[in-house]
Structure 1
Protein backbone atom coordinates (compact mmCIF):
# COMPACT_ATOMS: atom_id res chain seq x y z
CA UNK A 1 0.00 0.00 0.00
CA UNK A 2 1.42 3.38 -0.97
CA UNK A 3 1.47 6.43 1.30
CA UNK A 4 -1.50 8.11 -0.40
CA UNK A 5 -3.76 5.10 0.20
CA UNK A 6 -2.56 4.76 3.78
CA UNK A 7 -3.23 8.45 4.52
CA UNK A 8 -6.60 8.20 2.78
CA UNK A 9 -7.54 5.15 4.83
CA UNK A 10 -6.54 6.84 8.07
CA UNK A 11 -8.45 9.99 7.09
CA UNK A 12 -11.52 7.88 6.34
CA UNK A 13 -11.27 6.14 9.69
CA UNK A 14 -10.84 9.42 11.57
CA UNK A 15 -13.67 11.17 9.71
CA UNK A 16 -16.21 8.39 9.98
CA UNK A 17 -15.55 7.61 13.63
CA UNK A 18 -15.42 11.24 14.76
CA UNK A 19 -19.21 11.44 15.00
CA UNK A 20 -19.69 8.19 16.92
CA UNK A 21 -18.97 9.57 20.41
CA UNK A 22 -21.43 12.43 19.94
CA UNK A 23 -24.12 10.18 18.46
CA UNK A 24 -23.72 7.68 21.29
CA UNK A 25 -23.83 10.46 23.91
CA UNK A 26 -27.07 11.77 22.40
CA UNK A 27 -28.57 8.27 22.50
CA UNK A 28 -27.46 7.62 26.09
CA UNK A 29 -28.26 11.02 27.62
CA UNK A 30 -31.01 12.24 25.27
CA UNK A 31 -29.39 15.66 25.78
CA UNK A 32 -28.79 17.84 22.72
CA UNK A 33 -28.93 21.26 24.35
CA UNK A 34 -25.22 22.03 23.88
CA UNK A 35 -25.18 20.94 20.23
CA UNK A 36 -25.08 23.75 17.69
CA UNK A 37 -27.93 23.46 15.21
CA UNK A 38 -26.20 25.80 12.76
CA UNK A 39 -22.92 23.91 12.90
CA UNK A 40 -24.56 20.53 12.30
CA UNK A 41 -26.76 21.99 9.55
CA UNK A 42 -23.68 23.25 7.71
CA UNK A 43 -21.89 19.95 8.34
CA UNK A 44 -24.79 17.92 6.92
CA UNK A 45 -24.96 20.13 3.83
CA UNK A 46 -21.18 19.84 3.42
CA UNK A 47 -21.26 16.04 3.57
CA UNK A 48 -24.21 15.94 1.16
CA UNK A 49 -22.22 18.06 -1.28
CA UNK A 50 -19.09 15.91 -0.88
CA UNK A 51 -21.20 12.82 -1.43
CA UNK A 52 -22.68 14.33 -4.58
CA UNK A 53 -19.21 15.31 -5.77
CA UNK A 54 -17.94 11.78 -5.20
CA UNK A 55 -20.98 10.35 -6.97
CA UNK A 56 -20.47 12.61 -9.99
CA UNK A 57 -16.82 11.55 -10.19
CA UNK A 58 -17.61 7.91 -9.52
CA UNK A 59 -15.11 7.91 -6.65
CA UNK A 60 -16.18 5.16 -4.23
CA UNK A 61 -13.85 6.26 -1.40
CA UNK A 62 -15.53 9.69 -1.40
CA UNK A 63 -18.98 8.16 -1.72
CA UNK A 64 -18.51 5.66 1.11
CA UNK A 65 -16.78 7.99 3.54
CA UNK A 66 -19.18 10.86 3.03
CA UNK A 67 -22.23 8.59 3.15
CA UNK A 68 -21.24 7.39 6.60
CA UNK A 69 -20.39 10.90 7.81
CA UNK A 70 -23.65 12.25 6.37
CA UNK A 71 -25.71 9.56 8.08
CA UNK A 72 -24.09 10.12 11.47
CA UNK A 73 -24.13 13.92 11.37
CA UNK A 74 -27.71 13.94 10.05
CA UNK A 75 -28.75 11.62 12.88
CA UNK A 76 -27.27 14.04 15.42
CA UNK A 77 -28.98 17.00 13.74
CA UNK A 78 -32.34 15.22 13.59
CA UNK A 79 -32.06 14.31 17.27
CA UNK A 80 -31.31 17.96 18.02
CA UNK A 81 -34.43 19.08 16.13
CA UNK A 82 -36.83 16.43 17.43
CA UNK A 83 -39.22 17.28 20.24
CA UNK A 84 -38.26 15.72 23.59
CA UNK A 85 -40.81 12.86 23.49
CA UNK A 86 -39.74 11.79 19.97
CA UNK A 87 -36.07 12.04 20.92
CA UNK A 88 -36.78 9.77 23.90
CA UNK A 89 -38.54 7.24 21.67
CA UNK A 90 -35.72 7.12 19.11
CA UNK A 91 -33.04 6.83 21.78
CA UNK A 92 -34.98 4.10 23.61
CA UNK A 93 -35.32 2.13 20.38
CA UNK A 94 -31.57 2.37 19.75
CA UNK A 95 -30.52 1.72 23.35
CA UNK A 96 -33.24 -0.21 25.21
CA UNK A 97 -31.01 -0.46 28.30
CA UNK A 98 -30.89 3.33 28.70
Structure 2
Protein backbone atom coordinates (compact mmCIF):
# COMPACT_ATOMS: atom_id res chain seq x y z
CA UNK A 1 0.00 0.00 0.00
CA UNK A 2 1.52 3.33 -1.01
CA UNK A 3 1.46 6.53 1.04
CA UNK A 4 -1.46 7.98 -0.96
CA UNK A 5 -3.66 4.98 -0.13
CA UNK A 6 -2.59 5.12 3.52
CA UNK A 7 -3.32 8.86 3.72
CA UNK A 8 -6.71 8.35 2.05
CA UNK A 9 -7.62 5.49 4.37
CA UNK A 10 -6.63 7.44 7.48
CA UNK A 11 -8.51 10.52 6.26
CA UNK A 12 -11.62 8.43 5.62
CA UNK A 13 -11.40 6.87 9.10
CA UNK A 14 -10.93 10.24 10.80
CA UNK A 15 -13.78 11.84 8.84
CA UNK A 16 -16.13 8.98 9.57
CA UNK A 17 -15.28 8.46 13.22
CA UNK A 18 -15.27 12.16 14.17
CA UNK A 19 -19.09 12.35 14.34
CA UNK A 20 -19.54 9.31 16.60
CA UNK A 21 -18.55 10.98 19.90
CA UNK A 22 -20.87 13.94 19.26
CA UNK A 23 -23.79 11.70 18.29
CA UNK A 24 -23.23 9.49 21.34
CA UNK A 25 -22.97 12.51 23.65
CA UNK A 26 -26.33 13.74 22.36
CA UNK A 27 -27.90 10.36 23.04
CA UNK A 28 -26.45 10.24 26.55
CA UNK A 29 -27.12 13.88 27.59
CA UNK A 30 -29.95 14.90 25.23
CA UNK A 31 -28.16 18.27 25.06
CA UNK A 32 -27.80 20.02 21.69
CA UNK A 33 -27.79 23.67 22.81
CA UNK A 34 -24.21 24.27 21.66
CA UNK A 35 -24.72 22.80 18.19
CA UNK A 36 -25.28 25.15 15.27
CA UNK A 37 -28.14 23.97 13.03
CA UNK A 38 -26.78 26.07 10.15
CA UNK A 39 -23.36 24.47 10.39
CA UNK A 40 -24.80 20.97 10.48
CA UNK A 41 -27.20 21.78 7.63
CA UNK A 42 -24.21 22.72 5.48
CA UNK A 43 -22.31 19.65 6.67
CA UNK A 44 -25.19 17.30 5.82
CA UNK A 45 -25.60 18.94 2.41
CA UNK A 46 -21.87 18.63 1.75
CA UNK A 47 -21.84 14.92 2.58
CA UNK A 48 -24.91 14.33 0.40
CA UNK A 49 -23.16 16.07 -2.49
CA UNK A 50 -19.91 14.18 -1.91
CA UNK A 51 -21.89 10.93 -1.93
CA UNK A 52 -23.56 11.93 -5.19
CA UNK A 53 -20.15 12.85 -6.63
CA UNK A 54 -18.79 9.45 -5.61
CA UNK A 55 -21.79 7.73 -7.19
CA UNK A 56 -21.22 9.70 -10.40
CA UNK A 57 -17.60 8.60 -10.50
CA UNK A 58 -18.32 5.07 -9.29
CA UNK A 59 -15.78 5.53 -6.49
CA UNK A 60 -16.79 3.26 -3.60
CA UNK A 61 -14.41 4.83 -1.05
CA UNK A 62 -16.11 8.22 -1.59
CA UNK A 63 -19.56 6.68 -1.55
CA UNK A 64 -19.13 4.60 1.61
CA UNK A 65 -17.24 7.17 3.67
CA UNK A 66 -19.48 10.09 2.78
CA UNK A 67 -22.67 8.05 3.18
CA UNK A 68 -21.67 7.14 6.74
CA UNK A 69 -20.73 10.76 7.49
CA UNK A 70 -24.05 11.88 5.97
CA UNK A 71 -26.05 9.56 8.23
CA UNK A 72 -24.16 10.54 11.39
CA UNK A 73 -24.26 14.29 10.71
CA UNK A 74 -27.93 14.08 9.69
CA UNK A 75 -28.68 12.35 12.99
CA UNK A 76 -26.95 15.16 14.89
CA UNK A 77 -28.85 17.78 12.87
CA UNK A 78 -32.20 16.06 13.41
CA UNK A 79 -31.57 15.72 17.13
CA UNK A 80 -30.66 19.42 17.24
CA UNK A 81 -33.90 20.40 15.54
CA UNK A 82 -36.24 18.09 17.46
CA UNK A 83 -38.22 19.47 20.38
CA UNK A 84 -37.05 18.16 23.77
CA UNK A 85 -39.75 15.45 24.24
CA UNK A 86 -39.07 13.90 20.83
CA UNK A 87 -35.32 14.15 21.36
CA UNK A 88 -35.77 12.29 24.65
CA UNK A 89 -37.86 9.60 22.94
CA UNK A 90 -35.28 9.02 20.22
CA UNK A 91 -32.40 8.92 22.70
CA UNK A 92 -34.35 6.56 24.98
CA UNK A 93 -34.92 4.21 22.03
CA UNK A 94 -31.20 4.18 21.19
CA UNK A 95 -29.91 3.93 24.78
CA UNK A 96 -32.57 3.00 27.34
CA UNK A 97 -29.98 2.91 30.13
CA UNK A 98 -29.14 6.63 29.88
Q: Shorter-chain-normalised TM-score: which range? A: over 0.9
Q: Tell me the C-alpha RMSD between the 2 structures.
A: 0.5
TM-score, scaled relative to structure 2 = 0.98
Query: Alignment partner of 1:32: what SS?
Result: coil
Matched, 1:64 2:64: yes
Corresponding position of 1:87 = 87
Residue 48 of structure 1: how far off its partner (Å): 0.4
The gaps in structure 1 that reach 5 residues or longer are: none
Corresponding position of 2:32 = 32
Q: Distance in 1 between matches of 2:96 and 2:46?
A: 32
Residue 81 of structure 1: how far off its partner (Å): 0.6
Residue 44 of structure 1: how far off its partner (Å): 0.3
Residue 74 of structure 1: how far off its partner (Å): 0.2
Corresponding position of 1:50 = 50
TM-score, scaled relative to structure 1 = 0.98
Q: Deviations over 1:69-95 (max 9, x none)?
A: 000000000000111111000000111
Q: Distance in 2 between matches of 1:5 and 1:97?
A: 40
Q: Distance in 2 between matches of 1:34 and 1:50?
A: 26
Corresponding position of 1:3 = 3
Q: Deviations over 1:21-72 (max 9, x none)?
A: 1001100000001100000000000000000000000000000000000000
